[in-house]
Structure 1
Amino acid sequence: MTLRVTLVAAARGSLRQAERFDDDRPLDAAGRDEVRFVAHALVPLGAAELRYCSPTPRSRATGNALGFGPMAQPALRDWDMGRWRGMTLGEVTAREPAAVDLWLSDPRSAPHGGETMLDFIGRVGGWLDTRPVDDILAVAVAEPAVIRAALVYALSAPPSAYWNVDVRPLSTVTLTGLPGRWSLCLEAGSR
């Protein structure tokens, strides 16, 4: 018995350089267009027995636009950035350069007052490890940060690997396995 979880990155809610920490913005026009463009490839994922999403507006909107009717999962919420919430990386770097350096280099640090990277990865990994495992298919629409955390956890990679994973809007990745024993499954796509 194994679980197969396909993670779908939410469509964009802003231009990449305008992305903000813990951003609650809904889909923008470009994001809605992107969903329409790739829907033919992603809609079949809605046949999964379990359909989840991050509680963010753009994750919910992406899942609903794809017809998934996903159930919001608090454990799939974005990384808690404390007082940096709503700011861009550029804004935070200009105000607190030493704090940003610490945050980028030490996964146990939380100079922003929110979650440490280790806590974030552990939260997302804990969610993966508590899914039903009766040869079930699941799909989850989530923020890119959540997908990066899931991959680091599933592959037992060092936390620093988080910074080397690029998750684009509406990209997918599938994890298969059992709690604590995950594999990355890459498949030929039709997009």
Structure 2
Amino acid sequence: MLVTLIAAARSCSPLDVRFDDDRPLDTAGWYAVERAVPVLAPLAAAELRYCSPTACSRQTGDVLGLAPLAQLALRDCDMGRWRGMTLQQVVAREPAAVDNWLQDPRSAPHGGEPLLSFVSRVGGWLDTRPVGPDGRVVAVTEPSVIKAAMLYVLKAPPDSYWRTEVYPLSVVSLSGGRGQWHLRLG
């Protein structure tokens, strides 16, 4: 099986990124995804096409011609009471909690989902995907979900999550299945 993950186009300026955000694409995001159509539209040929339930993921998928089916397992990490806040706002209010969250992948000082649970949820989705006749799956989701998928596939230590960047409209391909995944670049 080949799973291609596409990072949703941006929904806000980089300085206004909020935890567990569900805003629609902003103007720059619309323009970026429209420019990406010639390169990414061929992915719509995949039999199985999904997206996270966020507005920006659905809109990115629709512009690309994917007509994706929303999957709850592809949603961003549940950030509990930090939802809708920027990292800067949370650091100003709860600096010790942020330190704990960044250092302990089992912690959830925000009352939401620990990093390890998030990575396991995304990995579970990968491992249980049905295989279409063509063996291809495409999903549009938040960059954080793609980071979690890469962590799962590579069996990388949890702190690798914090050292990985995924930009809007980045594409990552994973081949294999059920715990035997390989990261494909290029």
For Structure 1 versus Structure 2, the TM-score category normalised by the shorter chain is over 0.9
User: Match for 1:57 among 43, 55, 63?
Assistant: 55
Instruction: Please report the RMSD computed on the Cα atoms of aligned residues, expressed in angstroms.
Output: 0.8
| Corresponding residue for residue 158 of structure 2 | 159
How far is the alpha carbon of 1:133 from its aligned partner?
Answer: 3.9
Instruction: Summarize deviations over 1:95-132 as a string: whole Å, max 9, x none.
Output: 00000000000000000000000000000000000012
Distance, in Å, in 1 between the alignment partners of 2:177 and 2:36 is 30
What stretches of structure 2 of length at least 5 have no aligned partner? none
Query: Could you state the TM-score of these two structures normalised by the residue count of structure 2?
Result: 0.98
| Corresponding residue for residue 145 of structure 1 | 144
**Quick one: which amino acid aligns to residue 112 of structure 1?**
H
Distance, in Å, in 1 between the alignment partners of 2:60 and 2:114 is 27
Q: Is the 8 A contact 1:133 1:178 kept in 2?
A: no
Distance, in Å, in 2 between the alignment partners of 1:133 and 1:48 is 11
| Corresponding residue for residue 38 of structure 1 | 36
**Quick one: which amino acid aligns to residue 60 of structure 1?**
R
**Quick one: which amino acid aligns to residue 173 of structure 2?**
T
| Corresponding residue for residue 180 of structure 1 | 179
Distance, in Å, in 1 between the alignment partners of 2:19 and 2:11 is 12
How far is the alpha carbon of 1:17 from its aligned partner?
Answer: 1.2
Number of residue equivalences? 185
- Three-state SS of the structure 2 residue aligned to 1:31 is helix
**Quick one: which amino acid aligns to residue 169 of structure 2?**
L
What stretches of structure 1 of length at least 5 have no aligned partner? none
**Quick one: which amino acid aligns to residue 147 of structure 1?**
I
Distance, in Å, in 1 between the alignment partners of 2:44 and 2:131 is 18
How far is the alpha carbon of 1:186 from its aligned partner?
Answer: 1.2
Distance, in Å, in 1 between the alignment partners of 2:37 and 2:158 is 33
Runs of 4+ residues over 6 Å off in structure 1: none
| Corresponding residue for residue 80 of structure 1 | 78
User: Match for 2:23 among 22, 25, 38?
Assistant: 25
Query: Could you state the TM-score of these two structures normalised by the residue count of structure 1?
Result: 0.95
The answer to whether the aligner puts 1:119 opposite 2:117 as a matched pair is: yes
Q: Is the 8 A contact 1:7 1:172 kept in 2?
A: yes
- Three-state SS of the structure 1 residue aligned to 2:92 is helix
Percentage of identical aligned residues:
63
- Three-state SS of the structure 2 residue aligned to 1:63 is helix
User: Match for 1:67 among 46, 65, 68?
Assistant: 65
**Quick one: which amino acid aligns to residue 185 of structure 1?**
R
Q: Is the 8 A contact 1:124 1:149 kept in 2?
A: yes
